[in-house]
Amino acid sequence: MASELASGAVTSIGRVPDHTRLPDESVGGSVPILNRFKIVSLLREGEQLTSGCSDTETKIKIATALSDFGIEYIELTSPAASEQSRKDCEAICKLGLQSKILTRVRSSMEEAKLACDTGVAGVEVVVSTSTEEFSNGKDMADIKKTALEVIAYIKSRGVEAIFSTEEGFRDLVDLRDLYRTVDQAGVTRVRVADTLGCATPRQVHDLVSTLRGSVSCEIETHFHNDNMCAIANAHAALEAGATHIDTSVLGIGQRNGITALGAFLARMIVEDRDYVTSTYKLPQLQALEELVAEHAQISVPFNNPVTGFSAFSHKAGIHSKAVLKSPSTYEIIDPADFGVTRNVHFASRLTGWNAIKGRAEQLGLAMTDDQIKELTQKIKTMADTRQLSVDDADSIIRSYHLELQA
């Protein structure tokens, strides 16, 4: 840890990652592929939001925007959910998008056929394995037999088969055996889900590491955000050897959602800026989020990573000073990578003279440091008596500068 901190620490805990080294062997020894992940965007989770029941036209608009953005996979609601869902699958497959289109079905031949007929590139087969039998009373041998038949059928149609479990495992032995079996049967990918949103990053790392040691296929992970760990969990999964991360725009999904696309990219750009900026059209993120927010009838949260109005705002004097001198002191992400701008807020009692100096320079007004310091004191005193707008502060700066000329 000492040498890690020495290599690039800029804060007492965090550091800019150094991927020239392999990870610490004590945490698994696997080589992380933090710069080779693929993103699955779940349009189907969008429908889960109470307000987010989207019509075909909206789905097409969003799918097209996701594809343009560079998302590798788009997963749609099961064609077995309703006749309209089936038609939507067909319509979106026919668009010929760059993104591969996926859908999901229960482990049934009938549903698998329905899915393959829509023209999707991949079908996820979801089985219920919980011995608590909330949703499915079959035992493990039956589950395995049916799943293998369905997988063989999907493969025979020239479609990628993805194997997934909806609920729980009472015993990791069951998990490994089942996943090994479908891996040997030639699935493209297995998928594990934290459906409850209760897993911690360490639990995720342990489980995905174990799975990574058991199967040779790709590993997709799905994290609900009930305990607000969905981003940290996605990162931990990649460190442990996962290859695909399920996301949705703004994290929209059942309850308080899943790994949010923008937040996930904000996390990953810190790991490998070159990979993230060259793979995804980041300046389109804001428009993509606004498109989805509009149709889901929600607002982009004030604190949304990157695009929330406060994401790149700076207010306190000590922070503003450092940000103006060297943005990397207080920003791990360059807002320009996402086509958004930094906002150093200076019209408050917490302002510092460096922020005022920066603003005066933006306004083209030259003053000495001593003059700026006196001006700053004036602004802080004013801000104590009432809330100042940027226009107010600019007026004070301009009038002070004018007095100096007189």
Site for a copy of itself in 268-327 (CB under 8 A): 270, 298-299, 301-305, 308-319, 321-322, 325-326
What is the separation of C-alpha 266 from the centre of its chain, rounded to a whole number of angstroms? 7
Touching a copy of itself, residues 101-140 (CB under 8 A): 130, 132, 134-135
Nearer to a copy of itself, 328 or 399 (CB): 328
Contact status: 20 vs a copy of itself (CB under 8 A): no
Minimum CB separation of residue 8 from a copy of itself in Å reads 9
- The string of DSSP codes covering 178-205 is HHHHHHHTT-SEEEEEETTS---HHHHH
Rounded to 5 degrees, φ, ψ at 76 are -105, 160
Report which residue type is found at 69.
Answer: F
Q: How far apart are CA 360 and CA 377, in angstroms?
A: 14
Longest dimension (CA), the chain: 91
What residues between 137 and 196 interact with a copy of itself by CB under 8 A? 165-173, 175, 192-196
Rounded to whole angstroms, what are the CA distances from 332 to 252, 266, 323, 397?
25, 9, 11, 31
Task: For residue 41, give the H/E element and its range.
Answer: strand 38-42
| Phi, psi for 328 (deg, rounded to 5) | -65, -15
| Stretch of 62-70, 113-121, 147-155, 232-240 contacting a copy of itself, by CB under 8 A | 232-240
Strand positions, DSSP E, 342-393: 343-344
Q: Is 319 a catalytic residue?
A: yes
Which candidate in 222, 295, 319, 345 is catalytic?
319
Applying the rule CB under 8 A, the residues between 191 and 220 that interact with a copy of itself are 192-207, 210
Closest CB to a copy of itself among 97 and 270?
270
**x/- track of binding to a copy of itself for residues 235-264 (CB under 8 A):** xx--x----------xxx-xxxx--x--x-
Judged by CB under 8 A, the stretch of 113-121, 145-153, 278-286, 382-390 that binds a copy of itself is 382-390
Cβ 135 to a copy of itself shortest distance, Å: 6
Size of the site for a copy of itself (CB under 8 A): 121
- Smallest separation, CB 256 to a copy of itself (Å): 4
Q: What's CA 252's distance to the chain center, in Å?
A: 11
**Please, what is the minimum distance in Å from the beta carbon of residue 285 to a copy of itself?**
14
C-beta of 185 vs 350, nearer to a copy of itself: 350
From 40, 42, 43, 49, residue interacting with a copy of itself (rule: CB under 8 A): 49
In whole angstroms, give the CA distance from residue 324 to residue 362: 12
Cβ-contact 164, 126 below 8 angstroms: yes
Question: Which residues are part of the catalytic machinery?
Answer: 319
